């Protein structure tokens, strides 16, 4: 994330007319007005407290919009991270007489580390684990706050918390918090258009596809989670300074649920939604104070709200509004015209691009792939065929790293990739598509392809977002969909989605392209188009390894064929000779 001022000196490129800071100027002007209002208007104590609470809570909820909205991971301990920040400022300024700023930063660091640790221990596993582990963490933090009296003063809480000298008056402190809110809000809002933000959205939409497009899924999730924790800590520190008193019950599991409800109600995908949700859920209980007279009643209503929002308004209030707004507004400008796509596959190794030796993949007793050798020559199309259950797709999954090989060795262009995770194989020059299309559903075609173009080590993309967009447009134009670049994935036909997936792989300028049954589900016209596309790709010198059932496509497109049956290689060689091989004929047609 670059600070806005960094973008100033870059000359305006052809694609984007104005530098970022100019396009976002209205935001900063609006924020400045809000800060000025907060600093100058006279509020009575009650209104002031509500504003302060809304401001600090919003920052914590921004954290949830990163982890839940952008990255699709759950965090049920945001109140605990909020509490860590609050107690850091409380204990630090009251007991240790340390500077507010030091304590605020300390609280942020503690939250960040706690979040990173929790994430590292859990995020490799499914989301259920994360949900439970965060609840457990929340309980532990509450236990410590109540029982570690020597440190936290126990249930009495910490009082007499200091503010920074600069913002002693409650008026100026509120203005300071609003300014922090504006800055954090801007960063979170802008985050989704950065490389990290795109990676988070890709992980949310489809983890497998994110991995094979060069995104380190695990690390991306940890970043999101740690960032969420950090914002929680920051918000807590500001909260403690504002109210001068903290106690354990302010940071309980119930409060985590309140944060979650705020985020869901407003719309989890955007910071604007977070702010709306936070504001509403702070104001509504104030209007309905009588609900608080019966213990439990208002939390019960929160619980009911959560169920209803999830069911009837999954994108929250802001999602609903933004959706209507987008429909009402005229269609966005047509995408820019792009140049021709250039593919320049790396050539480090020798004549063989992919050398697979003795590759095996066993599932328990089942030998899905058993000692297979494949040598893919540089340039041209190599096909891997075989009857159903012969181990083709398993082979492809082992090659792209979705499965770990039981035995054997995979060398791509001189690099041993046998033990690499998927994203590192992609960085080494592997591109692939999936039999059942795996695109990032919430994004446009262009954004999907941009993620492909963003693969680490892609030498065909210059610096900056504009170069990325240019490369992605070239790839989309190459497959014939350039004019529809800004449409969402859901508006494309099945055949076109397949082409977008190929464009996504091409934009990354791979050394070897793996195509998993690209003709499956295509009609005859689309198959012809696919065939043409393969020819044009091969003409640029990119090596293709294709799996398919369509014998016409395979025999016409491929120069070299490897045949698998029951996990073993039964034939290998020049196309026509292989297709006439008696073992191949009997594998497909059965022997007498």
Stretch that binds another protein, among 93-101, 302-310, 346-354, 384-392 (CB under 8 A): 302-310
Cβ proximity to another protein: between 128 and 329 the closer is 128
Nearest Cα to Cα of residue 182 among 316, 58, 3, 88: 58
Shortest separation between residue 153's beta carbon and another protein, angstroms: 15
Cβ proximity to another protein: between 29 and 297 the closer is 297
For position 299 contacting another protein by CB under 8 A, the verdict is yes
Cα separation, 177 vs 174, in Å, equals 5
Of 3, 14, 307, 340, the residue at the interface with another protein (CB under 8 A) is 307
Cα separation, 539 vs 543, in Å, equals 10
Nearest Cα to Cα of residue 411 among 457, 368, 352, 465: 352
For position 404 contacting another protein by CB under 8 A, the verdict is yes
Of 22, 25, 32, 121, the residue at the interface with another protein (CB under 8 A) is 121
Site for another protein in 180-209 (CB under 8 A): 208
Of 30, 155, 296, 334, the residue at the interface with another protein (CB under 8 A) is 296
Q: Is 274 exposed, middle or buried (0-12, 13-18, 19+ CB in 10 A)?
A: buried
For position 220 contacting another protein by CB under 8 A, the verdict is no
Cα separation, 278 vs 274, in Å, equals 6
Stretch that binds another protein, among 88-96, 160-168, 300-308, 424-432 (CB under 8 A): 300-308
According to DSSP, the β-strands at 407-412 and 352-363 are: antiparallel
Nearest Cα to Cα of residue 501 among 484, 518, 486: 518
Nearest Cα to Cα of residue 250 among 240, 242, 238: 240
Of 27, 403, 566, 588, the residue at the interface with another protein (CB under 8 A) is 403
Cβ proximity to another protein: between 97 and 311 the closer is 311
DSSP E strand stretches across 386-523: 407-412, 415-416, 430-432, 512-516
195 vs 1, 191, 415, 464, CA distance in Å? 8, 8, 26, 10
Cβ proximity to another protein: between 69 and 237 the closer is 69
Stretch that binds another protein, among 120-128, 371-379, 471-479, 530-538 (CB under 8 A): 120-128
Cα separation, 308 vs 325, in Å, equals 23
Shortest separation between residue 125's beta carbon and another protein, angstroms: 6
Stretch that binds another protein, among 104-112, 140-148, 195-203, 559-567 (CB under 8 A): 140-148
For position 155 contacting another protein by CB under 8 A, the verdict is no
Cβ proximity to another protein: between 209 and 468 the closer is 209
Q: Is 504 exposed, middle or buried (0-12, 13-18, 19+ CB in 10 A)?
A: buried
Site for another protein in 234-253 (CB under 8 A): 253
Q: Locate tokens 């582990």: which residue?
A: 133
For position 257 contacting another protein by CB under 8 A, the verdict is yes
For position 137 contacting another protein by CB under 8 A, the verdict is yes
Cβ proximity to another protein: between 154 and 380 the closer is 154
Q: Locate tokens 């010198």: which residue?
A: 541
SS3 category, 35: helix
355 vs 35, 468, 519, CA distance in Å? 62, 31, 25
Interface residues with another protein (CB under 8 A) are 72, 74, 76, 121-122, 124-129, 131-133, 135-137, 139-140, 143, 146-147, 208, 253-254, 257, 260, 264, 294-300, 302-307, 310-311, 314, 397, 402-404
């Amino acid at each position: 994330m670059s600070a806005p001022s960094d973008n100033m000196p870059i000359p305006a490129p052809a694609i984007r007319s104005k530098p970022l800071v100019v396009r976002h100027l209205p935001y900063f002007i609006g924020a400045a007005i809000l800060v000025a209002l907060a600093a100058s208007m006279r509020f009575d104590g009650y209104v002031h407290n509500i504003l302060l609470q809304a401001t600090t809570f919003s920052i914590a909820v921004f954290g949830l919009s990163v982890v839940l909205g952008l990255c699709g991971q759950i965090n049920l301990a945001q109140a605990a991270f909020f509490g860590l920040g609050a107690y850091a400022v409380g204990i630090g300024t009251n007991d240790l007489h340390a500077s507010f700023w030091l304590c605020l930063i300390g609280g942020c660091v503690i939250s960040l580390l706690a979040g990173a640790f929790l994430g590292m221990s859990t995020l490799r596993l499914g989301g259920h684990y994360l949900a439970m582990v965060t609840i457990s963490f929340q309980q532990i933090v509450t236990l410590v706050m109540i029982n570690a009296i020597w440190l936290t003063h126990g249930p009495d809480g910490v009082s007499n918390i200091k503010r920074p000298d600069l913002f002693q008056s409650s008026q100026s402190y509120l203005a300071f918090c609003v300014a922090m809110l504006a800055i954090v809000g801007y960063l979170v809002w802008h985050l989704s258009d950065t490389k990290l933000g795109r990676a988070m959205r890709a992980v949310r939409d489809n983890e497998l596809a994110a991995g094979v497009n060069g995104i380190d899924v695990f690390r991306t999730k940890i970043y999101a989670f740690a960032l969420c924790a950090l914002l929680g800590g920051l918000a807590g520190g500001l909260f403690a300074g504002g109210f001068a008193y903290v106690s354990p019950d302010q940071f309980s599991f119930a409060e985590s649920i309140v944060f979650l409800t705020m985020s869901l109600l407003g719309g989890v995908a955007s910071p604007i939604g977070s702010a709306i949700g936070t504001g509403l859920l702070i104001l509504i209980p104030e209007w309905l104070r009588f609900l608080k007279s019966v213990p439990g009643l208002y939390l019960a209503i929160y619980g009911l709200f959560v169920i209803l929002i999830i069911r009837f308004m999954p994108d929250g209030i802001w999602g609903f509004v933004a959706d209507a707004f987008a429909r009402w507004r005229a269609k966005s400008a047509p995408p820019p015209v792009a140049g021709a796509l250039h593919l320049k596959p790396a050539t480090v190794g020798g004549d063989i691009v992919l050398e697979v030796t003795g590759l095996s993949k066993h599932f328990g007793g089942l030998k899905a792939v058993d000692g297979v050798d494949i040598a893919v020559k540089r340039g041209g199309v190599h096909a891997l065929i075989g009857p159903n259950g012969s181990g083709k797709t398993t082979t492809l999954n082992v090659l792209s790293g979705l499965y770990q090989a039981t035995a054997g060795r995979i060398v791509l262009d001189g690099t041993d990739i046998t033990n690499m995770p998927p994203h590192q194989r992609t960085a080494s020059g592997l591109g692939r598509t999936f039999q059942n299309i795996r695109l990032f559903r919430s994004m446009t075609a262009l954004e999907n392809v941009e993620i492909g173009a963003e693969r680490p080590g892609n030498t065909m993309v210059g610096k900056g977002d504009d170069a990325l967009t240019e490369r992605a447009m070239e790839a989309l134009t190459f497959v014939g969909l350039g004019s529809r670049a800004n449409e969402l994935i859901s508006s494309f036909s099945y055949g076109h989605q397949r082409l977008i997936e190929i464009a996504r792989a091409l934009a990354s300028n791979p050394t070897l392209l793996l195509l998993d049954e690209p003709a499956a589900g295509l009609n005859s016209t689309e198959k012809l188009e696919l065939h043409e596309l393969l020819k044009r790709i091969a003409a640029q010198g990119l090596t293709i390894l294709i799996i398919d059932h369509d014998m016409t496509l395979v025999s016409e497109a491929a120069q070299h064929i490897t045949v698998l049956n029951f996990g073993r290689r039964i034939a290998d060689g020049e196309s026509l000779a292989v297709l006439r091989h008696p073992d191949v004929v009997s594998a497909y047609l059965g022997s007498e």
